[in-house]
């Protein structure tokens, strides 16, 4: 009986050990679900325009997204596609083909609002006609340090017809210069005022090498799978604070694996409320949406406000990283603690039963 009691105590101690061990094993938790306005609010206004950013912020976006392209004269402009054709109208010599082959003066002759009115008549507005492609500097000047930005460096490939030139050559440097000029470097590092994302690891590694304090997010194309993304997390964790997978690649295992490495998970691109709810249930830390108004409604009272969203996300990340044990096991999102505690409990019961039988 004494031996049984001793073993039961040992099992109890094991449970306590498991509890305290799990508490020390860092995991990203406690941050808000951030509402990222994809290209502003691309479902309601012409993407990547000031009108789209204003509306996204009015509708509850915590972050506004900028896809970066560089003009042939080295100016960063905000445009998703490599080519101007889909979203712009205007003189063909200026408004068709790769934006990287046009000067800023040419790009500024293009209308980036009319395509939206043509394509989405239900949300068309007269004032969208004639809107211009903004430069990144114009965006920073307008919103200053009062808004959170989610900036994407796009393409490290040479533009067609210009194989010797790296289209993104200088993009990272110019982005950092503008962040510095507009007082966004420190708020980015401390409060995640600016998150920098890219599908191209080399681009993020370049920025990390220049300034390791900046928060970076590794994007994964929709050609990846949850498994291939998980296999890359260790590498991404070397320079990034988060990952941006396609929404269809997200499951509990991926979120768990990312969180054990203190990586936030911000999937793209959400349109429908049931998908938003599903991803929130899976534990994501934010998401890109064409409809920040819908996500705001889904989050309800739990929605962060734009000011605190970055600050709280940065705090959660730092808390995780400061407690991170280097050899956190990848359990694929399966929480170890309940299993360990249950095992200890069962062991205790077995031992007690055996002891009672003998007594």
Binding residues for ligand G3P, rule CB under 6 A, total 10
CA distance 131 to 49: 7
Task: Write the CA distances from 168 to 76, 118, 156, 177, 262, integer angstroms.
Answer: 10, 31, 5, 15, 29
Q: Dig out the tokens for 310 from the structure.
A: 């970055």
CA distance 353 to 344: 14
CA distance 243 to 199: 10
Q: Which does 289 bind (CB under 5 to 8 A by kind): Ca ion, ligand G3P, none?
A: none
Residue placing its CB nearer to ligand G3P in the complex, 143 or 268: 268
Nearest-approach distance from CB 147 to ligand G3P, in angstroms: 17
Residue placing its CB nearer to Ca ion in the complex, 221 or 308: 221
The count of C-alpha atoms lying within 13 angstroms of the C-alpha of 194, restricted to the half-sphere facing its C-beta, is 27
Residues 266-325 that bind ligand G3P (CB under 6 A): 268-269, 288
Q: Identify the helix (H) or strand (E) that includes residue 198.
A: strand 194-198
Nearest-approach distance from CB 197 to Ca ion, in angstroms: 7
Does the active-site annotation cover 80? Answer: yes
| 172 lines the binding site for ligand G3P (CB under 6 A) | no
CA distance 31 to 22: 19
Among 48, 80, 259, 266, the one annotated catalytic = 80
Q: For helices 50-58 and 136-143, what crossing angle results, to 10°?
A: 40
Does the active-site annotation cover 208? Answer: no
309 closest CA partner among 87, 56, 13, 62: 62
Nearest-approach distance from CB 267 to ligand G3P, in angstroms: 9
Residues 75-104 that bind ligand G3P (CB under 6 A): 80
Nearest-approach distance from CB 348 to ligand G3P, in angstroms: 49
Nearest-approach distance from CB 67 to Ca ion, in angstroms: 5
| 113 lines the binding site for ligand G3P (CB under 6 A) | no
User: Of these, 47, 152, 172, 249, which contacts Ca ion (CB under 5 A)?
Assistant: 152
Question: Exposed, middle or buried, 28 (CB in 10 Å: 0-12/13-18/19+)?
Answer: buried
Structural contact between residues 298 and 273, judged by C-beta atoms closer than 8 angstroms: yes
Q: Which does 268 bind (CB under 5 to 8 A by kind): Ca ion, ligand G3P, none?
A: ligand G3P
Site string for ligand G3P, 175-204 (x = CB under 6 A): ----------------------x-------
3-state helix, strand, coil in the chain (%, to 5): 50, 15, 35
Structural contact between residues 295 and 35, judged by C-beta atoms closer than 8 angstroms: yes
| 32 lines the binding site for ligand G3P (CB under 6 A) | no
Nearest-approach distance from CB 48 to ligand G3P, in angstroms: 10
Tell me the backbone φ, ψ of residue 151, rounded to 5 degrees: -100, 135
By beta-carbon distance, which residue lies closest to ligand G3P?
A: 268
Residue placing its CB nearer to ligand G3P in the complex, 38 or 132: 38
Residues 63-122 that bind Ca ion (CB under 5 A): 67
User: Of these, 67, 249, 275, 312, which contacts ligand G3P (CB under 6 A)?
Assistant: 67
Contact footprint for Ca ion (CB under 5 A): 67, 152
Active site residues per annotation: 38, 80
Contact footprint for ligand G3P (CB under 6 A): 38, 67, 80, 152, 197, 219, 244, 268-269, 288
């Amino acid at each position: 009986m004494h031996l049984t009691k001793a073993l039961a105590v040992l099992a109890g101690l094991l449970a306590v050990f498991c509890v305290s061990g799990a508490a020390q094993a860092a995991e990203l938790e406690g941050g808000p679900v951030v509402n990222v306005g994809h290209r502003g609010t691309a479902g309601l206004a012409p993407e990547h325009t000031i009108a789209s950013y204003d509306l996204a912020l009015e509708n509850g976006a915590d972050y506004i997204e900028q896809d970066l392209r560089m003009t042939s004269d080295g100016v960063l402009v905000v445009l998703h596609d490599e080519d101007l054709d889909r979203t712009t109208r205007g003189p063909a010599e200026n408004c068709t083909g790769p934006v990287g082959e046009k000067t800023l003066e040419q790009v500024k002759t293009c209308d980036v609002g009319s395509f939206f009115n043509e394509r989405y008549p239900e949300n068309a507005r007269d004032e969208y006609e004639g809107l211009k492609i903004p430069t990144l500097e114009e965006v920073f000047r307008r919103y200053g340090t009062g808004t959170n930005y989610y900036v994407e460096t796009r393409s490290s490939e040479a533009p067609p017809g210009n194989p010797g030139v790296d289209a993104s050559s200088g993009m990272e440097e110019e982005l950092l210069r503008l962040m510095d000029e507009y007082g966004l470097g420190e708020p980015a590092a401390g409060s995640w005022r600016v998150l920098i994302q890219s599908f191209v690891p080399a681009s993020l590694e370049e920025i990390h090498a220049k300034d390791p304090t900046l928060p970076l997010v590794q994007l994964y194309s929709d050609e990846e799978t949850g498994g291939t993304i998980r296999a890359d997390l260790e590498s991404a964790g070397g320079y990034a604070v988060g990952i941006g997978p396609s929404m269809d690649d997200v499951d509990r295992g991926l979120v768990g694996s990312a969180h054990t490495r203190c990586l936030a998970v911000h999937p793209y691109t959400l349109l429908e409320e049931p998908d938003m709810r599903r991803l929130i249930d899976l534990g994501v830390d934010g998401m890109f949406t064409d409809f920040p108004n819908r996500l705001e409604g889904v989050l309800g009272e739990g929605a962060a406000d734009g000011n605190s969203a970055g600050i709280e996300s940065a705090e959660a990340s730092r808390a995780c990283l400061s407690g991170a044990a280097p050899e956190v096991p990848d359990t694929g999102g399966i929480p170890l603690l309940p299993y360990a505690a249950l095992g200890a409990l069962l062991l205790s019961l077995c031992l007690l039963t055996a002891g009672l039988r003998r007594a």
